[in-house]
């Protein structure tokens, strides 16, 4: 394992331990609203600080962008860690056991290492650029589905951007009409990891943030997936509009989704 990936794993596990303990003692967790349908807990903050402390102990010169702390400048900002300490906060708050820690390292704008850790299932998804993706040490490969028939596609509602509702529902309907079924589980990081593991045949969502995507898009690509924005380009880290599936299915999914693109999404 690359030394930087090893630090990412250590950071994710440290955060995961905090989350798992808090999940068992939820009455002690403090919840605050950051905005419309957007929440943060004391656990998000504690987990994020554990990740930051672990990274800075080994790489104090690196920059960091974290969901709760924002941008932390470093002496070597070509190396930037992208952190989501608890992806699936609403699930956590409601006691739904589906959430994860996401940690990625981007070097000069390219994701080089990615970690997604599900602390309740003890599932560790990892990848380094050019070295494949793994789940608890076993190699991952995406689904080999050739068309949408009988597939399971993951998605997420744009609940923080209700102005996208009409566009999203049109896209949802187009995919749902062709696929076997759709899943909306509440953690984009795990959705991306599940595509990498072949548990879902594809995934699409609108309006995600870099910390939602960074680790998962690398893990999916290293497992053989293609990653695109809804327009068929590679601007998903900026737009937050993402489509992930295997090479055979990407053309099909994009063909259905593109019909409902608005000018602001191109």
CATH classification of the domain holding 169: 3.40.190.80
Q: What are the pLDDT digits (tens) for 155-167?
A: 999 887 888 899 9
CB neighbourhood size of 2 (10 A): 14
Q: Is the CB of residue 19 less than 8 Å from the CB of residue 47?
A: yes
Whether residue 163 lies inside any domain: the answer is yes
Whether residue 144 lies inside any domain: the answer is no
What pLDDT score does 1 carry? 78
pLDDT band at 38 (very low <50, low <70, confident <90, very high): low
Distance CA 87, CA 120 (A): 13
Do 117 and 41 share a structural domain?
yes
Mean pLDDT of the chain, nearest integer? 94
Q: Is the CB of residue 211 less than 8 Å from the CB of residue 137?
A: no
Query: What is the SS3 assignment for 172?
Result: helix
Alpha helix positions (H), 25-164 = 42-58, 89-94
Distance CA 48, CA 172 (A): 33
pLDDT band at 119 (very low <50, low <70, confident <90, very high): very high
Do 64 and 24 share a structural domain?
yes
Alpha helix positions (H), 147-265 = 165-176, 188-196, 210-222, 236-239, 247-258
What domain count does the chain have? 2
**Cα torsion 67, 4, 237, 86: sign:** negative
Query: What is the SS3 assignment for 27?
Result: helix
Do 255 and 187 share a structural domain?
yes
Do 26 and 61 share a structural domain?
yes
| CATH assignment of the domain containing 20 | 3.30.540.10
What pLDDT score does 246 carry? 98
Whether residue 261 lies inside any domain: the answer is yes
Do 252 and 226 share a structural domain?
yes
What pLDDT score does 68 carry? 87
Q: How far is CA 52 from the centre of its chain?
A: 18
Q: What are the pLDDT digits (tens) for 205-248?
A: 999 999 999 999 999 999 999 999 999 999 999 999 999 999 99
Domain range spanning residue 133? Answer: 3-139
Distance CA 223, CA 246 (A): 9
| Structural domain ending residue among the three candidates 92, 116, 139 | 139
């Amino acid at each position: 394992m690359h030394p930087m990936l090893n630090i990412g794993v250590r950071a994710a596990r440290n955060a995961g331990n905090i989350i798992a303990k808090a999940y068992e003692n939820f009455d002690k967790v403090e919840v605050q609203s950051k905005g419309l349908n957007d929440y943060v807990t004391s656990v998000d903050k504690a987990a994020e600080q554990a990740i930051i402390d672990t990274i800075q102990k080994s790489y104090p010169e690196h920059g960091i962008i974290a969901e709760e702390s924002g941008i932390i400048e470093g002496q070597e900002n070509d190396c930037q860690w992208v952190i989501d300490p608890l992806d699936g906060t609403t699930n956590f708050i409601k006691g739904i056991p589906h959430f994860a820690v996401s940690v990625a390292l981007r070097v000069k704008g390219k994701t080089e290492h990615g970690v997604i850790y599900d602390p309740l299932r003890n599932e560790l998804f990892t990848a380094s650029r050019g070295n494949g993706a793994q789940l608890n040490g076993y190699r991952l490969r995406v689904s080999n589905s050739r068309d949408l028939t009988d597939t399971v596609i993951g998605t997420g509602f744009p609940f923080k951007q209700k102005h996208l509702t009409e566009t999203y529902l049109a896209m949802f309907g187009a995919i749902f009409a062709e696929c076997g079924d759709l899943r909306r589980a509440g953690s984009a990081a795990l959705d991306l990891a599940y595509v990498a593991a072949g548990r879902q045949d594809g995934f699409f969502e609108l309006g995600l943030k870099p910390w939602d995507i960074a680790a998962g898009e690398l893990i999916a690509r290293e497992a053989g997936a293609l990653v695109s924005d809804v327009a068929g380009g590679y601007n998903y880290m900026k737009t937050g509009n993402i489509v992930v599936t295997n090479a055979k299915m990407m053309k099909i999914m994009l063909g259905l989704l593109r019909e409902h693109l608005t000018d602001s999404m191109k």
